[in-house]
Amino acid sequence: MPKATETLLEINLNALDNNYQYITSKLKKETKVLAVVKAYGYGSDSVAVARELVDLGIDYFAVAYTGEGETLRNASIETPILVLHPLPVNFDAIVDRCLEPSIYSRKMLEEFITYTEKKQQNNYPIHLKFNTGLNRLGFDESDISFIAETLSKTKSVKVKSAFSHLAASEDLKLKEFTLGQIKAFRKISEELSAKIGYKPLLHCANTSGIINYPEAHFDMVRTGIGLYGFGNDPEVNKHLKPISTLKTVISQIHTIQKDESVGYNRGFIAEKTTLSATLPIGHADGIPRSYGKGKGWVTINGKKAHILGNVCMDMIMVDVTEINCEEGDEAIVFGPAAMADELAAAINSISYELITAISQRVKRVVCRK
């Protein structure tokens, strides 16, 4: 790629290939892989990422919301798509676009069956979500008899998979809790299969679950953050490559004299002559205001340039006093050489939050390198 001349999010498909190969190297050959491409592919470009994963042989996709699944269907992605958090208002779009709902409550199960019967569906694929400790979405173990009885009265739906979600797979201090979740899921799935009379696909591991809990791989794994290049662990990160680089450019450089200030509300006051570079990226692009006053930085010509004063909606100003640079030079917010998880940690955040927050105003450029 030539140097950036405006704010860009560069998405490197070769890095995605690398991450897919690393994650699948942790699996048995027969284990299926579901790629989580919610939230625009964790802030990248869900269509470009999904197309590449189709070429790599992905088995399944998951999105959080129905509209995200529609986006993939509009791009002619034909792979099965699990919608993790559908709502009854989405049933039309789900069935219309062959999306597969996660069914997480008695009410949802009954309403979806009523809907599919009305639409004369047969064996419409559904995925049963069980709560094993995250306490977010999902049936309880005690719902299994109700589920089995409800399913026995209809031919309109078929359970394609049963799944659960780990609350702390990246945190080995909570290993006992996670092992308890895995055990509970195993018990639930056995009881479910016995009561409904067939074996759906089972899955419960996210990226850190894949790495830390081989016993939790079951029939399929769900990987999100790992595909995008983060493993929630420095050792794992060595094998992964961030797929996205957020770049911008120096619009203007100002010399700030002692006692002059920079930005709104005089957020920075110079104690000595300071060189300030203005960059065309701000909180509306996904740089949180909490990065202001030196907490956040960009990398210019290999050196960290910290944010001066407050983050504006469309701009930040950074300290380039000690950096040899000029207007038009590139600035890297995050990328393989400026890890997003390190920048996220500076405001007690995590890679997930920083990368998914990059707004749609930022142009996406897909490349291979």
Ligand X SMILES: *Cc1c(COP(=O)(O)O)cnc(C)c1O
Query: In this structure, what DSSP letter does residue 365 have?
Result: E
**What gap in Å lies between CA 37 and CA 185, rounded to an integer?**
24
136 annotated ligand binder: yes
**Nearer CB in complex with ligand X: 165/247:** 165
**What gap in Å lies between CA 241 and CA 228, rounded to an integer?**
7
Binding segment for ligand X (CB under 6 A), chosen from 13-21, 51-59, 218-226, 334-342, is 218-226
Hey, which residues between 52 and 91 contact ligand X (CB under 6 A)?
84
- Active-site choice (38, 129, 241, 247): 38
Residue 36 binding ligand X, by CB under 6 A: yes
Residue 225 binding ligand X, by CB under 6 A: yes
Residue 206 binding ligand X, by CB under 6 A: yes
38 catalytic, yes or no? Answer: yes
Nearest distance, CB of residue 5 and ligand X, angstroms: 32
Query: In this structure, what DSSP letter does residue 169 have?
Result: T
Q: HEC profile for 61-126?
A: EEECCHHHHHHHHHCCCCCCEEECCCCHHHHHHHHHCCCEEEECCHHHHHHHHHHHHHCCCCCEEE
42 catalytic, yes or no? Answer: no
The correct pick among 223, 274, 276, 278 for binding ligand X (CB under 6 A) is: 223
313 annotated ligand binder: yes
**What gap in Å lies between CA 83 and CA 67, rounded to an integer?**
9
Nearest distance, CB of residue 48 and ligand X, angstroms: 18
Say which residue the tokens 């949802």 belong to. Answer: 108
Nearest distance, CB of residue 222 and ligand X, angstroms: 4
- The residue type found at 258 is K
Listed residue (189, 123, 142, 197) closest to 161, CA to CA: 189
Residue 222 binding ligand X, by CB under 6 A: yes
**What gap in Å lies between CA 223 and CA 62, rounded to an integer?**
9
- Active-site choice (119, 155, 175, 264): 264
Indicate the annotated binding residues for substrate: 136, 313
Provide the annotated active-site residues: 38, 264
Contacts with ligand X, residue ranges (CB under 6 A): 36, 84, 165, 206-207, 222-226
